[in-house]
Amino acid sequence: MILTTHQPIFLPWPGFFAKAMRADVMVLLDAVQFPVGRGWMNRNRLKSAHGDLWLTVPVHRKGRGKQTIGAMELFEASDWRRTHLRGIRQHYAHAPFLSDYWSRIEAIYRRGNRYLLEFNLALIRLMYESLGIGARLCLQSELGVVGTGTRLLVDLCETTGTDTYLALPQSVKYLESPRFRDAGVDLRFLAFEPPVYPQLWGEFRYNLSMLDLLLCHGSKSPDIIKTGLRP
């Protein structure tokens, strides 16, 4: 049984879902510290006629010190929800599959979630289900496992009864291989090359949100992701 993990980022890129396709369980790390500085937890890229279309979800940070990802509250001082929806609607108006997903995207944005985790998770589940991924999706907090680094990952494997941990190659420098070996967990790395596919607005841009692929290719998206997976 294979376990993989990832932070519950906003509108993940295709590699996030490629990991899930090769796993039996995907754990979203919501009980770890919210990253300092800019990151992918609350911002990501789509595409527009003028280049990257950056969407940022405002969160409460000032004066709150270190917070876990699950504790991050949305900041509603601006009408960012309407801005996001307008941007997606405008720049993907000619996407072949916008109508297939629009009502569900709009419904998620209009729910009025209090926490970033709830909002991100709803979007992740939409994309996860649209891709037909069978791996069990769960939260770290639901499993009651806390910690950091390799120790956390090993404990998650033990808690879920999995014997293999699947990681992206970029994370190799952060992982302590002996700890996996001592715990009887096989450490594997995902061989994935982000696929090139027809996009709107000219020249291809790598590693956009998965939403770009879904809106452009709909039910063909899983097969497109699989072209980037290597044995």
Please determine, for residue 63, whether its predicted confidence score (pLDDT) is greater than 80: no
Calculate mean pLDDT across residues 123-129.
Answer: 98
**∠ CA 139-140-142 to the nearest 5 degrees?**
65
| CA–CA dist 181, 204 (Å, integer) | 40
pLDDT reported for residue 61 = 85
pLDDT band at 138 (very low <50, low <70, confident <90, very high): very high
Helical packing angle, 116-130 and 210-217, nearest 10°: 40
Residue 149 token pair = 């680094």
Residue 82 CB coordination number (10 Å): 11
Q: Using alpha carbons, list the distances in angstroms from residue 141 to 25, 27, 30, 144, 145.
A: 15, 9, 6, 5, 7
Helix (H) or strand (E) holding 48: strand 43-48
| 13, amino acid identity | W
Percentages helix, strand, coil for the chain, rounded to the nearest 5? 40, 20, 40
CA atoms within 13 A on the CB side of 129: 7
pLDDT reported for residue 64 = 78
* Residue range 91-104, pLDDT digits in tens: 999 999 999 999 99
Please determine, for residue 150, whether its predicted confidence score (pLDDT) is greater than 90: yes
Asked whether the beta carbons of 137 and 224 are under 8 A apart, the reply is no
With a pLDDT cut of 90, the percent of the chain lying above it is 94
Backbone angles phi, psi at 52, to 5 degrees: -65, 140
pLDDT reported for residue 158 = 98
pLDDT reported for residue 231 = 79
pLDDT reported for residue 5 = 98
Residue 37 CB coordination number (10 Å): 4
| CA–CA dist 169, 189 (Å, integer) | 6
Please determine, for residue 38, whether its predicted confidence score (pLDDT) is greater than 90: no
| CA–CA dist 57, 68 (Å, integer) | 16
Residue-averaged pLDDT of the chain: 96
Please determine, for residue 65, whether its predicted confidence score (pLDDT) is greater than 80: no
Taking alpha carbons only, the member of 46, 47, 30, 48 closest to residue 119 is: 30
Torsion of CA 132, 28, 102, 200, to 10 degrees: -80
pLDDT reported for residue 2 = 98
| CA–CA dist 162, 178 (Å, integer) | 17
